Amino acid sequence: MFIDCLTIFPEFFVSPLQEGIVRRALLDGKIEIGVHNIREYATDRHSMTDDRPFGGGEGMVMKPEPLSRCLHAARKEGADSRVILLSPVGEQFDQKMAERLASHEQLILVCGRYEGVDERFRQQYVDEEISIGDYVLTGGELAALVVLDAVIRLLPGVLGCGESATNDSFSCGLLKHRQYTRPRVFENMAVPEVLLSGDHAAVARHRLVESVVLTLQRRPDLLAGMRFTPAERKTLRQAGVLDQVDTAIRTLAQEKSHEG
């Protein structure tokens, strides 16, 4: 996959791309990342990438021409490219979106700054606008790094054995269970006995219950439309949480039908 970031602060991308799994994916040739300085595509004497908003108001707006020239330079001809604008008014980023984006040949991440980008650039070139959460950052660079990181780890062969993405939080609709490692006892707290038993089915049941309980406590909204197999329901009943799960799912369905 090609990932190209359009920014006026290319230095933002230097160290995050030199660490851990992203670095390994780059070295292995699983991804190619281009960081493009929008300023290099400004043609006026002062290399201006922003200007005052028409109609007045605070702040500055990113000019469309340097952005479009930079985009043309970054786009791989003939590739299935997706142009994404990072902005606080975008659709909220989540794991499903990361999975969808991972299927494209090229992602072009446009990092907005100031009060935003000129609307005509957005209309003409942007396929989707993404926000990473309900807060305002100083610009889209950190958001682009979040998207890039979440997508890269889903690409085939990027995670090694034992680092699989299939049991991630969100990928199966639940939050991931808690984890333990050596020592068996830490500050008087022992690892749950079942995890030492070697009984893989019992471990899986224990983890399912842990996941469900954590999701009920932290993110009950994730349970909307969730379906458990008869075996899973039996495990949840034995753990005493099935009624709570069914009530949560029913309540969410009722809320949804009232909204609709």
Contacts with ligand ADE by CB under 6 A lie at: 86-88, 112, 131-133, 135-137, 139-140, 143
Q: And the tokens for 83? A: 């142009």
In the bound complex, what is the minimum distance in angstroms from residue 14's beta carbon to ligand ADE?
Answer: 20
Nearer to ligand ADE, 115 or 232 (CB): 115
- Give CA–CA dist 7/171, Å, rounded: 30
Q: Which residue is nearest to ligand ADE (CB)?
A: 143
Tell how strand 189-190 and strand 106-111 pair up: unpaired
Residues 6 or more apart in contact with residue 155 via CB below 8 angstroms: 1, 25, 30, 31, 102
Nearer to ligand ADE, 6 or 86 (CB): 86
Radius of gyration of the chain (CA): 23
| 128 is an active site residue | no
- Using DSSP's 3-state secondary structure scheme, residue 135 falls into coil
Amino acid making up residue 202: A
Active-site residue (options: 65, 168, 232, 246): 168
In the bound complex, what is the minimum distance in angstroms from residue 144's beta carbon to ligand ADE?
Answer: 8
| 184 is an active site residue | no
In the bound complex, what is the minimum distance in angstroms from residue 133's beta carbon to ligand ADE?
Answer: 5
Active-site residue (options: 10, 53, 64, 88): 88
Residues marked active site are found at 88, 115, 153, 168
